[in-house]
A and B are shown apart, each in its own frame.
Chain A
Amino acid sequence: MFDVEPIIADHKDVIHDVVFDYYGRRMATCSSDQTVKIWDEDGQGKWSVTSSWKAHSGSIWRVSWAHPEFGQVVATCSFDRTASVWEEVIGEKVSSTNAPTRRWVRRTTLVDSRTSVTDVEFAPKYLGLVLATASADGIIRIYEAPDIMNLSQWPVQHEIANKLPLSCLSWNTSTYMVTQLLAAGSDESATPTGKVFIFAYSENARKCVKIETVNDITDPVTDVAFAPNAGRTFHMLAVASKDLYIVNLRGIMDTTGNSKLDIQTVKFSEHNCPVWRVCWNMLATMLISTGDDGCVRLWRMNYNKQWRCAAVLKAEGTGPTYEPAPPTPTLATTASATAKFYKKGTIGNQVPWH
């Protein structure tokens, strides 16, 4: 059962990305209306917009928050072929009693791409303040701010060209066995080849190179997401494609002592239609997938390390209502009688041990 609190986003068009900061206390949204909004949660759990600005001259696809040790920094990427880095600064104090105003200033515009920049994501912080962009021309660019006290300089560190246009990318935050793993996906639909690519830093070549292609996934890919690693000995990548995929990547040493990846792909067809987006929770014990069927699916890993769909959240319905209490109350159903949502069961413990 869920308590649902609607927030009026005040965007003029559909939102493309909703991203939370490290603590879940701030939210950044971006939309086809070319604006970015920053939201803050107050002590009572109410969200309000604290900044809103026109950030690009095209639809804004994605937002990414930098780790808070770099300050309050977000990056955006847009159809207008650019990506930008924004930092929140304290404005002039209006008066001594009021809290100083805060505003977001553009620190840089990354104009290297000649096509739409489809995704942007800050790298895990062990790499420093590093940013990767994916663009429709198939190039991944990795930028780095060498001076964390001055975010106006973002030289390109690596450029990796791919044959297919790219729609999404994701950094792996875990360094178990393999470091600097980066995955990207392509939503190109004409060629029947693998659509998910894995990159890593090569000590020999001294640059980032493509090390694998996930050949099991040949349908267009619209989102990829590496799972946070809470003590696992392998890496998990969720892929949104014609179906939902979870790709397990295991770093192994081959006979010559070189490390390579062992790839295993698991497919979930419950949506019965394309999947657009994927998102992990903090410990990667749950996964959200967005299908074209008007449903969000919540997946949960059971004790057996198997993924099971635990709940479906549907767009349809007449809005939050009460469901009459079931006629023969059992422990579980009596306890769940207060749902604000229309519901057919309860979430939680859906995949018990047995």
Chain B
Amino acid sequence: MTDSNVPAFELGDTLAMRCGNTLTGVFVPGSKIALSAFRHVKYNSRDVPTDTANQDPVLIYMAHETTLFDEPVLRSLLAESNATFATLQQLGQKAARVEYVNISRAYRSIVRACLEKLEHEKKSPEVQTDDLRLQRFSEAMVVFYAAECLWHLFEILYIQQNQLVVPQLLEWARFHFPQTEERATDLLLMGEEASESDDYWNVLRSLIMLGEIDITRAILSQNRRASQPAFKTAELALKSMPIYQEGYSLQKFNSQWEYWHMDTERKILSNVFATEPELEQLVQLVVGNNDEWDAGIKASQDWYQYLPGYLLYTKPTCKPFELRIASTNWLNRWSMLRPERILNSMSRMILQLMEHDVRLFIYEAQKISDTNWFSAHLLDLIHNSGILKAYFDQNNVDLPALRHSIIYEYGTFLMSARNLWHLGIDYLDYCKQEGRAAIELLLPRISIRSERQANKLINLAKQRGLLTVEQDICKVLSKRAYDGERYGNALEWAIRSKDVLLVTGIADFILKTYSRTGNMLCPDTIANIGGRMFISPRLVFLSKYFEFYEFYRNRDFLSASELLVNLLESKITPEYFWPSLLIDSMPLLESKDPKIFSKETVAILHHIETELVPIIERNTDKFGEHHTETVFKDYRVENIDEILNLMRLACARNLARAMIIENTMALE
């Protein structure tokens, strides 16, 4: 690819243009690019300020690729087409043709509704005063008007699969060139006066060329001279023109048609219309007079405007495959008469459709600047409805792959746009593993602004079995809550994330805070952990310790003692918590009526000697004999040796009391 084909954009940054500098860019997660000036520095150069330091302003440019969908009005188009897309996926490839026609119409009506909204909002003062938005509105209207027009034609020629195309093409042409009909309505309302209008005959010619015979007749019948023979003959000729309808015998129709044609031409030759030259022009058009049609071509707005009308009068039974030749011939004729006109891409695409060059049509459709809205939805419809399958096979177009790549592109565009991601995910769902992988990468990157949104994201991940995404979101929220000192919340999210390390970390923090300050953080959350505690042994310890803490607070000393003894024996006590746990036992040991049996008391004494004393010794090793620092973080401790002695004493006293009672009871 040569450079000239690649679009270039200029930024104009002073610093980046300095000698030795260049421009660099990085992708911003989402859909932006951040640009800034760059200077390459080698590791072995001297680290000195660059010569431009403090001179040029250092700027960062946030470049955002604009799309039509920045305009809120167009969001509804995306949302509605998303719903239709989903319906179509439900239908799959096995539905009746009529269902696909309905889907096609649904898409078109979404576009039409959107065009109306655009039309309406464009007139609002907010848009009128904002040049940029006004421009965007015009742009959107051009694009979606074209999308509707092309889709409509595609529907007529390929989705409906009519035997005859002329009636539908006429309808299509009238819809897209509505000015004539509007003017005709005016003329009808004016009654007799209409014939004095300057454009009276122009409108009538245009009506005839759009195949509007009935309206033409209605207007002519209001003419002041309607009772004159010329008008009467014209009326008769128009009225008796045979219109082919499906089901008619073609042969019969052809003979009727031939007869009518000869009859009408004979009338022209017999100078019936000599007094009314304009009227004669109309009849000449109806019989397909080349000069008159050439004049019509010269007055037409685009090449295809009068093609359906021309077919009505010259080839009313035209089949879709015959349209190819008819349209080529017509365009050649048009180009000869209008050499100055260059076809724009929409006109070209219309030709491609009529010439059955769908492959080229699809290629051009991707160039419409609607970020693939048109090509993605149309290709998906083509794929699901199974139309043109033989055509694509013959032309070596891998339609499923093409559809996949365009839907993937469209889906990722939506998913990386900040406000549209929830629409994008539905498209990526239909992109097999690639789509799933994309969702897995993009979903966790959607910035979480509220718990509600987080739950929504988690649900979406759950539905798709993306376990890691779910866990990532929980972990991020846990950490966020932790940093914000909302510890209960942090613990909740950590448990939801099922990450053992994280749960342990937060449980540790709560336990350490407790032993340091005597303050139990987030009691409500801990009380409600229940069966989920088994995620981490540390969490089990925290829950159980909390249970003890509650018993103790509620003065249920017997239960408290029992639980404490269990905890001491459990082997899940974290080392840093031994002092606190043992100190907790002191008041229970010192109780006048013993709460702890002799055997357990011995066990406690054993723990003091095997757990606590080594800690103290390590502490001494680490900080020296006369330490101010201590590994003992318990809020109740001032002097370690003192507390150690007190504990031994408490054990001894309780042991004495307990033994007396136990042995007395045994004697009795």
Contact = CB atoms under 8 A, between A and B. Distances in A.
Contacts of A343: 7-9
A342 interface: yes
B441 A68 contact: no
Nearest to B406: A353
A13 to B, nearest CB: 4
B366 A282 contact: no
B139 A337 contact: yes
Given A6-B62, A338-B136, 16 more contacts: A1-B66, A2-B63, A4-B35, A15-B60, A20-B29, A32-B50, A68-B476, A116-B47, A276-B38, A295-B22, A312-B6, A315-B12, A317-B11, A319-B11, A337-B135, A338-B139
A281 to B, nearest CB: 4
Contacts of B438: 230-231, 283
A298 B27 CA distance: 10
A7 B61 contact: yes
B65 interface: yes
Given A2-B9, A13-B50, A316-B17, A354 B142 contact: no
A283 B442 contact: yes
Interface string B26-70: 111110111111111111100101101110011111111111100
B66 A338 contact: yes
Contacts of A116: 43, 47
A11 B58 contact: yes
28 contacts: A2-B9, A2-B33, A6-B59, A8-B58, A9-B58, A12-B58, A14-B38, A18-B26, A24-B29, A47-B60, A147-B505, A149-B509, A283-B412, A283-B438, A285-B409, A288-B25, A296-B23, A312-B3, A313-B11, A313-B63, A314-B10, A317-B12, A318-B10, A318-B12, A335-B143, A336-B139, A353-B362, A354-B363
B281 to A, nearest CB: 32
B16 A311 contact: no
Interface string B466-505: 0000001001101110111100000000000000011001
Contact of B60 (A1, A7, A341): A7
A276 B66 CA distance: 27
Given A7-B60, A7-B62, A316-B17, A331 B479 contact: no
B445 interface: yes
B24 A290 contact: yes
A337 to B, nearest CB: 6
B40 A222 contact: yes
B390 interface: no
A14 B21 contact: yes
Q: How would you classify the secondary structure of chain A's contact residues: helix, strand, loop or mixed?
A: loop
B146 interface: yes
A222 B132 CA distance: 41
Contacts, number: 345
Interface string A27-59: 101011100000000000001000000000011
Nearest to A313: B9
A349 B444 CA distance: 26
A352 B366 contact: yes
B556 interface: no
Contacts of A347: 7, 9, 65
Contact of A312 (B8, B40, B135): B8
Contacts of B367: 331-332, 349, 352
B23 A90 contact: no
B22 A293 contact: yes
A172 B42 CA distance: 25
B368 interface: yes
Nearest to B62: A5
Interface string B119-155: 0000000000000100110110011001000000000
B402 A353 contact: yes
Nearest to B26: A279
B371 A348 contact: yes
Interface stretch (B77-85, B157-165, B340-348, B619-627): B340-348
B664 interface: no
A115 interface: yes
A72 interface: yes
Nearest to A31: B58
A231 to B, nearest CB: 3
A309 to B, nearest CB: 5
B132 to A, nearest CB: 6
Nearest 4 pairs of A and B residues by beta carbon? A317-B10, A345-B7, A231-B437, A24-B29
B25 A296 contact: yes
A110 interface: no
A230 B441 contact: yes
B562 interface: no
B508 interface: yes
A290 B38 contact: yes
Contacts of A349: 366-367, 369, 372
A16 B446 CA distance: 27
A79 interface: yes
B232 interface: no
A310 interface: yes
Contacts of B26: 18-20, 279, 288
Contacts of B33: 2, 288, 298, 313
Given A20-B26, A335-B142, A13 B61 contact: no
Given A1-B65, A6-B60, A342-B9, A14 B23 contact: no
A350 interface: yes
A75 interface: no
Contacts of B509: 149
A280 interface: yes
Contacts of A277: 24, 38
Nearest to A46: B62
Nearest to A79: B47
B7 A344 contact: yes
Contact of A311 (B9, B27, B42): B9
Contact of B7 (A19, A27, A280, A312): A312
Nearest to B432: A231
Contacts of A5: 61-64
B403 to A, nearest CB: 10
A25 interface: yes
Nearest to A146: B501
B401 interface: yes
A248 interface: no
A3 B66 contact: yes
Contacts of B37: 14-15, 315
B62 A4 contact: yes
Contacts of B369: 331-332, 335-336, 346, 348-349
A228 interface: yes
Contacts of B36: 9, 15, 18
Contact of A18 (B34, B132, B502): B34
Nearest to B483: A71
A20 B25 contact: no
Nearest to B56: A14
Given A19-B26, A20-B29, A70-B479, A2 B17 contact: no
Interface in B358-396: 362-363, 366-372
Interface in B559-578: none
Contact of B29 (A22, A118, A316): A22
Contacts of A293: 22
A311 B23 CA distance: 14
B433 interface: yes
Interface in A265-294: 270, 274, 276-277, 279-283, 285-286, 288, 290-294
Contacts of A316: 10-12, 17
A330 B139 contact: no
B43 A167 contact: yes
Contacts of B29: 20-24, 282
A310 B437 contact: no
Interface string A62-87: 00000011111000000100000000
Nearest to A270: B3
Given A9-B58, A149-B505, A332 B345 contact: yes
B368 A136 contact: no
A290 B23 contact: yes
